[in-house]
């Protein structure tokens, strides 16, 4: 595989301090107790989907792999831990040599998931696995939330193009992660150049209202943009009067005008009027792009409008009301020693209410009906039933500390499209409802 297929491997600082202090204090106590080396299995999963959502989307797996590779403590970090008395000297010495050496299995990026799905299974010593909890959850919770929102918007768009443009509505680094997750979930392009540079996501962008206001007239602004970017550019037509702007745009660019963008007003009504006007002016191939605080419901409401593309910002990068997936990372099995021959013992937190979980090292499979449509998410421990052997969901990601499953982002995007297509049709409904597949425990 050509390295360019994977995007540019931008230098990433150590991820070791992207963690909570108690991860390190647990390691210190376990080292002192002699239990730090016990062979352990942790799993990341969610007990429920966000309210009303029919399915979840796995995103961020590739970023998790990078984070695991870059999880190491340099001298400055170790000095900080020592000087602030966060852990004792012997733990600092142990951390100085830390590199994850275990195995990771998980749902491949772009796959859909349901309550209880073991999205990531991390195996190794207790100490080396527990340190990864916070950074794994921070990536998966954020990216999967954005991808789920993107998937719903993609379904609502019905094949029309989607532009991610939320960089100004979130933290500058989360903007890059959001663009990546949105691409997995079905968006076509991003306005964020850092995301384009890092992940080879196609980028787009022309001008804002400020460019029109800079010039002495809208005509001057349009002429300057066409002179610079060509007749196929997209002109923003709602700074002043939309009807006049469309007329001026076609006069300057001719029928080769690439697109007009509408960013305000009654988008349904304005889009119909603009389409009629463009056609009357001979610009029958000119596209209409709409923006302005869109979400999946607004996109669905424009299904009957002559719209060719949607630009989405705020609602996308905030997960359309659900900015996290509430994933957790729990110890589900452990041995009494580091000996690989020592049997794994299921462990589980006993809790009243909604925080209960299931112990044991799990597998997951998706049962299909006679038409090849998914009908249940089946989760179990022990042997996988023969009839589900070909439908298993977890794939090997890390073996002996080495990443074995890097892939182009395009592969995750295509996987999501296929996974969503394999769900019952009711998965595409935007109305509130239960998960489209039941979770069954074997």
Domains of the chain: total: 2
Task: Please determine, for residue 167, whether its predicted confidence score (pLDDT) is greater than 90.
Answer: yes
Q: Residues 40, 128: one domain? A: yes
Distance CA 390, CA 364 (A): 11
Q: Residues 399, 432: one domain? A: yes
Distance CA 425, CA 442 (A): 26
Could you tell me the sign of the dihedral formed by the alpha carbons of 152, 153, 157, 161, in that order?
A: negative
Task: Evaluate whether residue 81 is within a structural domain.
Answer: yes
pLDDT digits (tens, 9 = 90+) for 359-417: 999 999 999 999 999 999 999 999 999 999 999 999 999 999 999 999 999 999 999 99
Residues 6 or more apart in contact with residue 83 via CB below 8 angstroms: none
Q: Residues 126, 224: one domain? A: no
Distance CA 218, CA 320 (A): 34
Cβ(143)–Cβ(181) below 8 Å: yes
pLDDT digits (tens, 9 = 90+) for 174-200: 999 999 999 999 999 999 999 999 999
pLDDT digits (tens, 9 = 90+) for 93-152: 999 999 999 999 999 999 999 999 999 999 999 999 999 999 999 999 999 999 999 999
Q: Residues 216, 280: one domain? A: yes
- Please list the residues that pair with 365 across neighbouring strands: 378, 392
- The mean pLDDT value for 306-320 works out to 98
Q: Residues 303, 338: one domain? A: no
Mean pLDDT of the chain: 95
* CATH number of the domain where residue 77 is located: 3.20.140.10
The secondary structure of residue 386, as a DSSP letter, is: G
In angstroms, the Cα distances linking 332 to 13, 123, 177, 410 are 31, 10, 29, 33
Q: Residues 290, 348: one domain? A: no
Q: Residues 356, 437: one domain? A: yes
Task: Evaluate whether residue 201 is within a structural domain.
Answer: no
Q: Residues 138, 23: one domain? A: yes
Task: Evaluate whether residue 3 is within a structural domain.
Answer: no
Rounded CA Rg of the chain: 25
Task: Evaluate whether residue 258 is within a structural domain.
Answer: yes
Task: Evaluate whether residue 10 is within a structural domain.
Answer: no
pTM for the predicted model, two decimal places: 0.94
Q: Residues 61, 134: one domain? A: yes
Cβ(310)–Cβ(189) below 8 Å: no
Q: In 336-430, which ranges are E strands?
A: 345-346, 362-368, 374-381, 395-399, 402-403
Residues 6 or more apart in contact with residue 207 via CB below 8 angstroms: 221, 225, 235, 236
Q: Residues 303, 336: one domain? A: no
Q: Residues 138, 225: one domain? A: no
Q: Residues 342, 401: one domain? A: yes
Cβ(264)–Cβ(241) below 8 Å: no
Task: Evaluate whether residue 9 is within a structural domain.
Answer: no
Task: Give residue 277's domain range.
Answer: 206-307
């Amino acid at each position: 595989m050509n390295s360019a297929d994977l995007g540019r491997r931008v230098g990433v600082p150590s991820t070791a301090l992207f963690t909570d202090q108690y991860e390190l204090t647990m390691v210190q106590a376990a080292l002192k107790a002699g239990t730090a080396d016990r062979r352990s299995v942790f799993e990341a999963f969610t007990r429920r989907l966000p309210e009303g959502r029919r399915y979840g989307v796995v995103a961020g797996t590739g970023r998790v792999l990078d984070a695991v590779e870059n999880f190491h403590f340099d001298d400055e970090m170790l000095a900080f831990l020592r000087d602030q008395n966060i852990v004792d000297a012997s733990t600092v010495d142990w951390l100085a040599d830390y590199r994850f050496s275990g195995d990771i299995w998980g749902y491949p990026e772009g796959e859909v998931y349901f309550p209880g799905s073991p999205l990531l299974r991390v195996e190794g010593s207790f100490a080396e696995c527990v340190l990864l909890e916070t950074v794994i959850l921070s990536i998966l919770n954020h990216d999967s939330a954005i991808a789920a929102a993107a998937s719903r918007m993609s379904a609502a768009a019905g094949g029309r193009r989607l532009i991610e443009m939320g960089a100004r509505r979130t933290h500058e680094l989360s903007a890059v992660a959001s663009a990546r997750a949105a691409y997995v979930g079905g968006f076509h392009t991003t306005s964020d150049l850092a995301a384009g540079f890092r992940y080879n996501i196609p980028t787009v962008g022309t001008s804002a209202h400020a460019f029109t206001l800079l010039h002495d007239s809208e005509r001057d602004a349009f002429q300057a943009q066409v002179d610079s970017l060509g007749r196929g550019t997209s002109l923003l037509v709602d700074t002043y009067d939309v009807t006049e702007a469309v007329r001026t745009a076609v006069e300057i660019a001719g029928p080769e005008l690439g697109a007009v963008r509408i960013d305000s007003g009654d988008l349904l009504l304005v889009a119909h009027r603009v389409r009629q006007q463009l056609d009357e002016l001979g610009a029958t191939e000119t596209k209409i792009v709409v923006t302005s605080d869109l979400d999946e419901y607004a996109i669905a409401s424009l299904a009957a409008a002559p719209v060719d593309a949607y630009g989405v910002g705020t609602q996308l990068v905030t997960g359309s009301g659900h900015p996290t997936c509430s994933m957790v990372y729990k110890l589900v099995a452990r041995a009494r020693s580091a000996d690989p021959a020592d049997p794994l013992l299921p462990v589980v937190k006993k809790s009243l209410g909604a925080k209960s979980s299931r112990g044991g090292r799990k597998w997951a499979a998706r049962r299909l009906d006679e038409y090849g449509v998914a009908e249940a998410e089946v989760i179990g421990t022990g042997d996988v039933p023969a009839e589900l052997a070909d439908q298993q969901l977890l794939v090997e990601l890390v073996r002996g500390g080495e990443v074995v499953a890097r892939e182009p982002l395009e592969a995750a995007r295509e996987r999501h499209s296929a996974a969503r297509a394999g769900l019952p049709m009711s998965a595409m409904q935007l109305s509130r409802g239960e998960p489209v597949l039941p979770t069954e425990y074997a």
